[in-house]
Chains A and B, each alone.
Chain A
Amino acid sequence: MLIRGARAIDPARGLDATVDVLIDGKRIAMVAEGIEAEGHEAIDGAGKVLVPGLVDMHVHFRDPGYEYKEDISTGVRAAAKGGFSDVATMPNTDPVTDTGTSVRYQIDRGIEEGKTRVRPIGALTRGEKGEALAEIGDMTLAGAVGFSDDGHGVQSAGMMRTCMAYVSQFDRVVIAHSEVETLTKNGVVNEGRASTRLGMFGWPALGEELEIMRDIELCRLTGCPLHVAHISTARSLELVRQAKADGLPVTCEVTPHHLFLTEEDITDAYQTNLKMNPPLRTPDDAEALIEGLVDGSIDCVVTDHAPHAKHEKDCEFEIAAFGTIGLETSLPLMLTNLVRPNRLSWRRLVEAMALTPRKILRLPEVGIFEGSVADLTLIDPEASFTVDRDYLESKSQNSAFMGAHLTGRPMELFVSGRHVLSAGEVVA
């Protein structure tokens, strides 16, 4: 397969040029100008942008246990549609992914599907109960790429210290869902304007920030790499900035919904697709997060893809499930809202959505160079579309961006040379 005349961007190699890229089997065989097309199937890359395969290191595929929301089969289709060659799945399945066997199950199911790779994140504690260490070593050997009690976090400081100390022997990152539950109890929207206006319990910014302070100190104590999940406030970002300045192994991520939506978007219509954990914050927070992404303080963009069935969202706000799907809209949102208006460079986009998450998850390096595994995403920055049911591949339709008009989307995706997205459609 030959991709001809695309603008190829790989910041790790200092590459930003119009070149031809030849894929042979699982790897990139040649990167050069004017590769002889004869004998190769070719894709016209003119006007398009070729980048290393995107990675979303925070998704929920609900498999096993909640297959009515999503399963690995539909999850990887959504991921492929979004241009992702790899996704890291959170362990809050049923049963919780807290053993080597359950990690292996997800990897094998992903291999069977043959599209986007599934990279399981294992639970820190058994059953995500926060009481006893899960078999972290066994899960590491089975292929777990990180460890997290995502969904609620480890409430006890002592238990979190134990987790981080234990993980520190494996060259894996601890991914912290930062939430002090005694501060966020019953909270469904940001505490402040939204909770006052809508008459619902608030989820205060401090509920997140206090936990981040704690975990940064535990990182300092244990030396275990810490990755702060879905940061949502300006102060959370400041805490991470300070930790980095102190030389600590601390990284963080942000979701498109925390960048591009705020508490102001929740109207008297009580849109349940805007109910998130952590909640949508203030416009000032969102603006600070965009600046953090631009200047590199925020390491990567993730979706926290959280599928829920219609009956779990088509109800009163206070009892609706938390979360939005995001895999299919993540890159288009970034292109539309940040790259197109020249707020974010292509270089930063590729770092945040492809290169840095691989480093955080200790995945092998891929890029646009001869010999690299052929994980490639070809983007049409001019393609406009509307987010609707037909566009989405996920089993669930709970997108906070349903109806949005976006410009720029992935058209082709190769995973180990296998063509899994073609002309914007997932290859069966």
Chain B
Amino acid sequence: MAILQVKDLSKSFATVHALKGVSFTVRSGAVVGLIGPNGAGKTTLIKCILRLIRYEQGRIFLNGQPLSSRKELAAQISYIPEQPVYYEELTVEENLNLYAMLSGTPRREFAEKKAMLVDRLDMAEYLKKLPDQLSKGNKQKLMIAMAFLKRFQLLLADEPFSGLDPVMIRRLKDLFLAVKKEEKTVLLSTHLLDLAQTVCDDYIFLDHGAILAAGSREEILRAAGASGKEEFSLEEAYLKLLARGENP
């Protein structure tokens, strides 16, 4: 069953066509990689889904229903933004508490989730610190923890591995896989294909605001022109699709 459907979505900024008639479907309970080079339109697409950006054309359906109110949207989607955003005068723990309360996470569930996230993301030692005192990677962990504290059907993660060390990247991937086990969906935007390959079930390859290919690994390979499964790797397929996109 599709949790997210995007149909013919277009968005322009002045003379730049950020999204050109983008259409795709995200099936429920999958980790889907939104892959593309810098400036491909990944963040714009995510912000359109979140209705943070007005789009000129197209429709977005969540669980088969067109996006209606912001409250409904916020109740179903959780979001890890590209840049950390937090209350500077509140400690890490206070930020977590506030976000969970605003998200309506029940107290017991919050306590359990918080303990789990603090443990997995190694946050215990700086819970009482102000976020501005932390490194870039630790600020990113705060954003990840906030997104996971909320109940959601779909998690939109915009470059979530940014600033994380290899151990934390591994733990974040484990978190994504745990989400998948709960039949929830992750749309993971990144330009790091090697990382995406270790966690994603499906892929959406985006470049210059247009979709190059979308689907499972096999479907992507076929779209790139492979006849057999092992003819070339996903990375090679990606490069072929990018080259084809530039010289159609």
Q: Do the two chains bind?
A: no
Residues of chain A touching chain B, judged by Cβ–Cβ distance below 8 Å, are none
